[in-house]
Amino acid sequence: MQEKLISKKKPSFPISKKLSTYLTQYSRNVLMPVFYDDLLRYSGSVEVFDKTGADTLWIRVYYKEYERDEIDLSLKKIYTILHADGSDGSLPYLNVDAIDYCTFGNSKPFRIKIRNVLNDNYMYMYIKRADASRVYGLEIEHLLSPDRINFLVHKDTLVEEHIQGIPGDVFMSEGYEDFSSRDQKQLAKEFVKFNERCLLRLLGDMRSYNYVIVPTHDFDQVQFRIRAIDFDQQSYEGRVKVYMPQFLKENGKFVEMVHNNLREESIQQYKIEERSAISKRIIRVQDRINFLLECMSEDEISSEEKVKRLRKDLFDYTKDKRFKTCKNMGAILRVAFDFVVRNYENVNHYVIH
């Protein structure tokens, strides 16, 4: 069943001129001193293993000595652009500890480990080949999720900040049966909200290794949040179930947790809460969302067959006839956002028009 839901390999889509204009207007499009293709010119590599000795599918790459200094300096400059004001003042205090490359998956990213030599703190960033689907996914995440996210684009190169957290599959493998009743209820609540958020913004393929669990200590308890970390499958697939993590077999333990800990009334209430939160965010950034959807409507980020299938699935799911006339993924997402906002405004008597 999994193969029918998710395409085995999604193609990469180029950044269109209009999307590039959008990215420039909102300070995402910046000049970079190094490109993705430059990093591909490594001269050697070694495999990277985790603390248990398992192969991580990443390799640590090395460059010829006469290239390494220039690459290191360029990567440190990109880091300062991503996280600061782009000035050179902090460059002497930064060191590139490692450059790792992953050949697994669609984006084939480079993972850069940057360390502050003054305090030994370090952070990661990722450099990937720019893909329009992923850029749309990142921007929608920034605008409509509870979390902000930093990323930069220039031509065919995409730079992303690292999203901290425990991968969902690793988190659940540690034995969720031993979690307290309260923790299970809180995790179940977050999964329901995450499931709804993915559906409403059409982010697909949220298998357990494509999102992280973020524990936050709050007085005498721990709160959990779920954050997506992979945005390749933004508005690409044609089956509506792909956009609902509950139907992906890798999330079976989370689904079981929901069934074991939440009543149907609670599940519906959490869905309403998430729809309301997203509706407020859409209203708050309406002009920016409209510009982004204009770009998406003029872009080819999926196939005609998938568009037809998804608009049918969404009509069956919502009974909103406007889905039937959608010609592309941008139009589908616009109707989906309008559907959510309209329903929110119809039930919320405190909205001022």
**Which residue is it, tokens 């992923």?**
134
At residue 200, the 3 state secondary structure works out as: helix
Encode pLDDT of 21-62 as tens digits.
Answer: 999 999 999 999 999 999 999 999 999 998 888 888 899 999
Which pLDDT score, from 0 to 100, does residue 177 have?
Answer: 67
Which pLDDT score, from 0 to 100, does residue 315 have?
Answer: 96
Q: In 60-82, which positions are buried (b, 16+ CB within 10 angstroms) versus exposed (e)? A: bbebeeeeeeebbbbbbbbbbbb
Q: What rounded mean pLDDT belongs to the chain?
A: 92
Encode pLDDT of 248-279 as tens digits.
Answer: 999 999 999 999 999 999 999 999 999 999 99
At residue 240, the 3 state secondary structure works out as: helix
Query: Amino acid identity, residue 20?
Result: S
Encode pLDDT of 303-313 as tens digits.
Answer: 999 999 999 99
Encode pLDDT of 219-259 as tens digits.
Answer: 777 889 999 999 999 999 999 999 999 999 999 999 999 99
Which pLDDT score, from 0 to 100, does residue 1 have?
Answer: 39
pLDDT(353) > 60: no
At residue 201, the 3 state secondary structure works out as: helix
Encode pLDDT of 189-201 as tens digits.
Answer: 999 999 999 999 9
Which pLDDT score, from 0 to 100, does residue 2 have?
Answer: 44
Q: What is the mean pLDDT of residues 298-321?
A: 95
Q: In 196-221, which positions are buried (b, 16+ CB within 10 angstroms) versus exposed (e)? A: bbbbbbbbbbbbbebbbbbeeeeeee
CB under 8 A, 24+ apart: contacts of 246-250 = 246/191, 246/195, 247/5, 248/2, 248/5, 248/205, 248/206, 248/207, 248/208, 249/1, 249/2, 250/169, 250/207, 250/208, 250/209
Residue-range domain boundaries for the chain: 2-161, 166-347
Strands across the sheet with 166-167, in order?
166-167, 211-218, 221-228
- pTM equals 0.92
Is residue 316 within 8 Å of 43, Cβ to Cβ?
no
Which runs of E-coded beta strand occur in the chain? 44-49, 55-62, 94-102, 110-116, 122-129, 151-154, 157-161, 166-167, 211-218, 221-228
